[in-house]
Amino acid sequence: MANEANGDGAEPQIGDPCTMVIFGAGGDLTKRKLLPALYNLKANNLLPNEFAIVGFSNNPFNSQQFRESQSKDIHEFATTKVDDGTWDWFNERIEYVQCDFGDPAAYKRLAEMIEKVDKQYSTKGNCLFYLAVAPRFFSVAVKQLGDAGLTTEENGRWRRVIIEKPFGHDLESAHALNTEIKKTLDENQIYRIDHYLGKETVQNLMAFRFSNGIFEPIWNSRYIDHIQITAAETVGVEERGGYYDQSGALRDMVPNHVMQLISMVAMEPPYSFDADAVRDEKAKVLHAISPIKPEEVLQNAVRGQYGAGNEDGKSAPAYRTEDQVKRDSSTETYAALKLYVDNWRWARVPFYVRTGKRMKHRLTEIAIQFKRAPFTLFRHTRVENTMPNLLVVHIQPDEGISLGFSAKIPGPIMQLGQVDMNFKYSDYFGAAPSTGYETLILDCMIGDPTLFQRDDMVEAGWRIVNPVLDLWKALPAREFPNYPAGSWGPKEADHLLERDGRQWRFHNEK
């Protein structure tokens, strides 16, 4: 964000000198996302020369072995061809400390290592601790860091902590975690990550809305009929059955990623791009969403679980037969909600959101359905109906924005057809290989928390979904599995819109 805010022609800001300590460095996130993201930052000259990486996890490596494993992984997971010179630069700067996250002695060894690399690479005492670990270690790690004096900011040095999701598993646990870590850290040292905010198109939403004069005047309940948000995946639970069976689709995607999308689309213009100005506006949206009342959950929230089905012509297994999933699991792999943002701008505009695993297509998008134009003009023509305009923000896989509108079909009679104006990111700006973590890591190094979640925002997200979680837990679904793998979800989700005289996009695709 900081780079974008610099304006046209401004030099991008490079990260501050620092040591990045990766908790859980032996895990999947490090090799799949963090190292490739750091590599891309270096390749774009956005990392400072005064930089070092310290891996911190329980895998039995020494620094040399850790470097070797990272060298192997980067060649497999980099999003671009690895240049030997660039990788050598990293290799010189990678160290490792083996640890048990609860053991104070490990933090002493970590402190010594930080001091060593600080001297060697002049990192100015700045440290970014990235907690890429299971949630049960979040508060333990923060407390131990604090006890070892590693979170103290003094003599101009900064100490920041990035915390991965899930941040809590409901409102109460998220609140407890906030309270716990704030015993050690100031809010401005905490960077709660939501990788959706690293996606270009999500960030572009603000640019689209607030740097173009023509959309904002119609961005309200007077012109917009409803909004549909879809975050659909074709994959199943992969190797994460153990985590997912405890979590479910609602917890996994809605209080975090989907709420970020809603707040980006529904927020008021901030008075500046200053982190808190933006986050205040986003938080206001979340506070304005009324949680579904317990007696309305069954009506306004739909859950689903996939049974055996078909994925690209190949047979796909039922959720209950996936690895580490209970054979009689009542965990949902699909969730759809109808929500309202109760404020002046959005009164009576439904926000329909859906997310699921093993869906028909991989697709994340926000579709803004405008109201129909008055039919008056066409009443003596063959036109039977006018189609409403549809603006779609395509978040992935084909990033872009399209606007659907009516046009006259050529010929002697007046007939209308639906056409599209289509902007594709890759056509204009090329496809820069990225993991989605580059901006977020760089922003943390610069000290710009705009794209990170504040304490009140995470809690507001949980507050919205909590009544649904509670009711679903109290009344386990009896109808599971209720959609085949490779489909658009359960039929009850169609009813959610049909009752209001609306339809999901792609409802015709079986």
* Chain contacts with ligand BG6 (rule: CB under 6 A): 165, 195, 233, 252, 364
Region of 452 (left: φ > 0; alpha: ψ -120 to 50; beta: rest) is beta
Q: Which two tokens stand for residue 243?
A: 């985590």
Q: What angle do CA 154, 155, 158 make, to 5 degrees?
A: 55
Q: Which residues of 266-281 are buried (b: 16+ CB within 10 A; e: fewer)?
A: bbbebeebebeebbbb
Gap between the Cα atoms of 1 and 144, Å rounded: 31
Q: At what angle do helices 455-474 and 171-181 cross, to 10 degrees?
A: 150
Q: Among the options 195, 257, 380, 507, which is catalytic?
A: 257
Q: Which two tokens stand for residue 198?
A: 């690293």
What secondary structure letter does DSSP report for 33? I
Q: What is the three-class DSSP state of 333? A: coil
Gap between the Cα atoms of 393 and 485, Å rounded: 26
Q: Taking the complex as a whole, how short is the minimal distance between the CB of residue 434 and ligand BG6, in angstroms?
A: 11
- Of the pair 143, 360, the CB lying nearest ligand BG6 is at 360
Among residues 215, 140, 149, 153, the alpha carbon closest in space to that of 181 is found at 140
Find the residue with minimal CB distance to ligand BG6. Answer: 252
Q: Which two tokens stand for residue 339?
A: 């929500």
- Of the pair 252, 281, the CB lying nearest ligand BG6 is at 252
- Of the pair 165, 279, the CB lying nearest ligand BG6 is at 165
Region of 429 (left: φ > 0; alpha: ψ -120 to 50; beta: rest) is alpha
- Whether 507 is catalytic is no
* Exposed / middle / buried, residue 302 (Cβ in 10 Å: 0-12, 13-18, 19+): buried
Known catalytic residues are: 257
